[in-house]
Amino acid sequence: PYNGPSADEILAKRKDFLSPSVCNYYQKPLLVVDGKMQYLFDDKGRRYLDAFGGIATVSCGHCHPDIVNAIVNQTKRLQHSTVLYLNQAVSDFAEALASKLPGNLKVVFFTNSGTEANELAMMMARLYTGCHDIISLRNAYHGNAAGTMGATAQSIWKFNVIQSGVHHALNPDPYRGIFGADGEKYAKDVENLIEFGTSGQVAAFISEAIQGVGGIVELAPGYLPAVYKSIKKAGGLCIADEVQSGLARTGSFFWGFESQGVVPDIVTMAKGIGNGIPLGAVVTTPEIAEVLTRRSYFNTFGGNPVCTAAGLAVLRVIEKEKLQENAHVVGTYLKDRLIALKDKYEIIGDVRGRGLMLGVELVTDRELKTPAKAETLHVMDHMKDLGVLIGKGGSYGNVFRITPPLCFTKEDADFVVDAMDYAMCKM
């Protein structure tokens, strides 16, 4: 049983001592005290089905025993910065991670977060090409430090501080974008940006394969191959941000970019790769990695033994428990059920995504696609009361994000959809 302070007491402390900008997801904030696989438990011992997984943070499930054991065992043995010394946990994980990537992507740099990973990727591209200009997508989220905030393109996440050298291309959004699902037309916009917004040479193009924070937007088919071609012609590198879409989440592939049949020059990842432990990584080719030998590159905790032991355990669990296949099977089933729900409720404007990275966009008018922001919050709150936690996102805050741990079952999927159905019919 939980004997700690109440939710109200914690909320009061949070108000006094923590950042005033943190948001509470629900009208009455939830106090979570325990986690087990796809479940979270509150202070009263009530169980919730976690269909958001901390924005895809716990890839394999809360407190997965194999991963907890790996962390505990390594912590008992040694935790240290490994910038100066050798350690087996670090090199074993680097080797295992590199083996999951295509082509010559085999040099790994470890960081503590997705922001740091993207900062490093963007810097390497700038050093390698000798150019400063980077092209990113409107509606992207790549981080919140000076460089990555520049690449992020949603006003809610951007502060008015210097963010130089990033141009934002039209978002190849099949639902809201001006060219619908025609990936090649959006790719032409990137060609225009290079021609009119830069010297003709660029450092890089960075994008997610499925925009997470942006509301589960899958890039229009044919987009990435055409854009990668234009970027290469302009001397730039292609960076794939797999912080949310990587690591088997999309089911059909291990990495999100594979669904468009491209091979990036640099891949970044974080969140799920540590199953909740702070860990990020940048993987690139030996030739590109070489740029960092021009100076010293130092990150005290990036790739420490405890975090990398967790990372290796995550890869093993994904394989052992066939979680990619599960993401495909359960995700397809869940998406089909959500599509059926769309036939029942006018308010559902779009159902999209792949595997266990799904989005449901709510609109008050299907023709005008007017965002149903208040209704989104209302349904989320009601679903919480029914014992189901989902996320929300998108520029208008009107998209449900369903990104559960990869151990989700069909029964869990049914519970999510049944709860959503009930909350909507009571609206």
Binding residues for ligand PMP, rule: CB under 6 A, are: 55, 113-115, 118, 141-143, 208, 212-213, 241, 243-244, 270
Residues 76/68, Cβ–Cβ less than 8 Å = no
C-beta of 94 vs 149, nearer to ligand PMP: 149
Instruction: Report phi then psi at 368, rounded to 5.
Output: -80, -15
CB 277 → ligand PMP: shortest distance, Å?
12
CB 22 → ligand PMP: shortest distance, Å?
13
Alpha-carbon distance of 247 to 271, in angstroms, equals 10
CB 56 → ligand PMP: shortest distance, Å?
8
Q: Please report, as a single letter, which amino acid is at residue 261.
A: G
Residues 372/362, Cβ–Cβ less than 8 Å = yes
CB 309 → ligand PMP: shortest distance, Å?
19
> Cα 354 from chain centroid?
13
Q: In the complex, which residue's CB is closest to ligand PMP? A: 114
C-beta of 113 vs 284, nearer to ligand PMP: 113
Instruction: Report phi then psi at 330, rounded to 5.
Output: -70, -40
DSSP one-letter string for 209-240: SEETTTTSEEPPTTHHHHHHHHHHHTT-EEEE
Residues 424/386, Cβ–Cβ less than 8 Å = no
The token duo for 54 is: 């901390």
C-beta of 238 vs 348, nearer to ligand PMP: 238
CB 254 → ligand PMP: shortest distance, Å?
16
Residues 211/172, Cβ–Cβ less than 8 Å = no
C-beta of 206 vs 417, nearer to ligand PMP: 206
CB 352 → ligand PMP: shortest distance, Å?
16
Alpha-carbon distance of 98 to 308, in angstroms, equals 13
Give one word for 96, left, alpha or beta, with left for phi > 0 and alpha for psi -120 to 50: alpha
Alpha-carbon distance of 172 to 218, in angstroms, equals 8
CB 284 → ligand PMP: shortest distance, Å?
17
C-beta of 347 vs 404, nearer to ligand PMP: 404
CB 257 → ligand PMP: shortest distance, Å?
12
Q: Please report, as a single letter, which amino acid is at residue 188.
A: K
CB 212 → ligand PMP: shortest distance, Å?
4
CB 241 → ligand PMP: shortest distance, Å?
5
Q: Which of 110, 103, 104, 107 is nearest to 89 (CA)?
A: 110
Instruction: Report phi then psi at 24, rounded to 5.
Output: -100, 135
Alpha-carbon distance of 217 to 181, in angstroms, equals 11
Residues 223/183, Cβ–Cβ less than 8 Å = yes
Q: Which of 145, 169, 177, 174 is nearest to 159 (CA)?
A: 145
